[in-house]
Structure 1
Amino acid sequence: MDPVDVALCLAMDVSASVDFDEFALMAGGTAAALRDPSVLAAATSGPRGAAAICLLLWSGIGERDLAVGWTRLDGPEAAGALAQAIADTPRLPRAGATALGEGMAAGLALLGAFPDATARLVLDVSGDGRHNQGQPPGPVRDLAVDAGITINGLAILNEEPDLLDHYATEVIGGPGSFAMSCADYPDFADAILRKLRRELGGGLLVA
């Protein structure tokens, strides 16, 4: 893969609180966002004209799957192929506890091993629950900050209405980091669209 402006790992919660219909809304919403011209414009707006994206699914300790490996996003054909791969991805990790810190650590390992040059490394965490198993997220976040990696969060509030506070204090960190929320899974597609435009475009605020 040639150098890119940003390497973005999408890390999605597939723990027991996320049923199969909700997972389909997450995957389908992410795929729809990647097909949106504004996301491609953000991904190709940097000097290298490209981003790299992968999809990581996580739940309890040891339950994680690199569902879609690193893929270069540099034009409409690549965006369509990546969107289809995400839309078609099976839910392989077993549903279980919410090992949020473990999922974050797995995403950081993927970013740390990114094989090509990039100006930015970003971890995008989406989920509907607090950490309740394994290593806590705060120390993992601190390691990311020390390494110059940005972690952003999208809190889905259907299970825990105050989850955004947990993401803001325990999950996000690094240059330009931010946390967003959506009320429920039907709202995920709009939220991830706005989030991807902001992440890929270098943290610019997007309405």
Structure 2
Amino acid sequence: MNWRVSIGSMLVATLISVAAAAAPGSKSQLAKAGDDAPSVDVELVIAVDVSYSMDLDELAIQREGYEQAVVSKEFLQALRAGPNGRVAVTYFEWSASTDQKIIIPWRLIDGPESADAVAAEIMKTPVRRGSRTSISGAIEFAMPLFDENPYRGLRRVIDISGDGPNNNGVPVAGPRDAALQKGIVINGLPVMVKEPSFATMDIDHLDWYYEDCVIGGPGSFVVAINDREKFKEAIRTKLILEVAGRVPERRIVPTADGEPRVSCTIGEKIWQERWGR
């Protein structure tokens, strides 16, 4: 089942207790017997939207949010609570179906020093922007990255952020389902800090779209960002939950069963109606 968490009243103390409660005995089919690759608790692909609908301030806050999250005491506590006490992370930025750029190749985070190194690496690359929004392209780009990872995790997770629906490349449902068939979990970070506008291709209820069309897999969840001031807190919350391997424990709402509440091809339809291509 998929879940949604609101960060509005979630306290740091709750995050710490969630991280500390990570079950060290949980195993995954991904941890194969006889696999000689070093073990980690999670292989985490962070896929970050840099389309033009994200303004420069949002892009900067997003970068800073991930940089600060990986060195936070709550993140490091969640890290220590895992059965291996380490995670493998790669970070890439995306926009159109053919526009993905790896900012950080696979890196091991196993404590404060390696976390500091990853945080510094996140911030050293200049902020960039790209046209169109292809969530499907981001998922297709992310899947083979797991095969290139020198570490083997108990879980494989794609952490995907964005401020609009898929409007480029193949429809999102196909790549989403392909990832789920590989045992990959997809979590979502929909950015909803601006009112929907004609110019930016924004839609109402982007969180519903992410819940019903983008995320999936056991324990998958959405952390929606509705307040610019909560941007960094949301990123930290999401990474802690992913590292701890936990489903949010407060203000949980199961996503709708059956037909999506927002069409999974709404972005493509809007693009076609406005520009005819």
Q: TM-score range by the shorter chain?
A: over 0.9
Measure, in 1, the Cα distance between the counterparts of 2:156 and 2:236: 19
**Which of 194, 206, 213 is equivalent to 1:170?**
213
Identity of counterpart residues, as a percentage?
36
Measure, in 2, the Cα distance between the counterparts of 1:108 and 1:7: 11
After TM superposition, give the deviation of residue 150 of structure 1 in Å: 0.3
Corresponding residue of 1:199:
242
Measure, in 2, the Cα distance between the counterparts of 1:25 and 1:206: 26
Structure 2 unpaired stretches of 5+ = 1-36, 197-202, 251-277
What one-letter code is carried by the residue in structure 1 that aligns with 2:82? G
Measure, in 1, the Cα distance between the counterparts of 2:148 and 2:158: 13
Corresponding residue of 2:57:
21
After TM superposition, give the deviation of residue 184 of structure 1 in Å: 4.1
After TM superposition, give the deviation of residue 181 of structure 1 in Å: 0.2
Measure, in 1, the Cα distance between the counterparts of 2:48 and 2:213: 17
SS in 2 for 1:182: coil
TM-score of the aligned structures, taking structure 1 as reference length: 0.93
Measure, in 2, the Cα distance between the counterparts of 1:206 and 1:188: 20
Corresponding residue of 1:181:
224
Corresponding residue of 2:99:
63
Corresponding residue of 1:152:
187
Contact 2:161 2:190 in 1 (8 A): yes
Give a deviation string over 1:86-142, Cα, whole Å, max 9, x none.
Answer: 1222235x5100011001111122123322221110000011010001112111111
Contact 1:14 1:58 in 2 (8 A): yes
Measure, in 1, the Cα distance between the counterparts of 2:41 and 2:172: 27
Measure, in 2, the Cα distance between the counterparts of 1:79 and 1:132: 35
Structure 1 unpaired stretches of 5+ = none
Measure, in 2, the Cα distance between the counterparts of 1:202 and 1:5: 8
Corresponding residue of 2:27:
none
After TM superposition, give the deviation of residue 204 of structure 1 in Å: 4.0
CA shift in 2, pair 1:52/1:17, >3 Å: same
Higher relative CO (CA 8 A, sep ≥ 6), structure 1 or 2? Answer: 2
Once superposed, what is the RMSD of the aligned Cα atoms?
1.6
SS in 1 for 2:220: coil
Measure, in 2, the Cα distance between the counterparts of 1:131 and 1:121: 23
Corresponding residue of 2:28:
none
After TM superposition, give the deviation of residue 168 of structure 1 in Å: 0.5
SS in 1 for 2:237: helix
CA radius of gyration, larger in:
2
More strand by share: 1
Q: Is the counterpart of residue 72 in structure 1 residue 108 in structure 2?
A: yes
What one-letter code is carried by the residue in structure 2 that aligns with 1:199? E
Give matches, 1:12-161, under 5 Å: 12-92=48-128, 94-157=129-192, 158=194, 159=196, 160-161=203-204
Measure, in 2, the Cα distance between the counterparts of 1:12 and 1:206: 25
Contact 2:38 2:150 in 1 (8 A): no
After TM superposition, give the deviation of residue 206 of structure 1 in Å: 5.7
After TM superposition, give the deviation of residue 198 of structure 1 in Å: 0.4
Corresponding residue of 1:10:
46
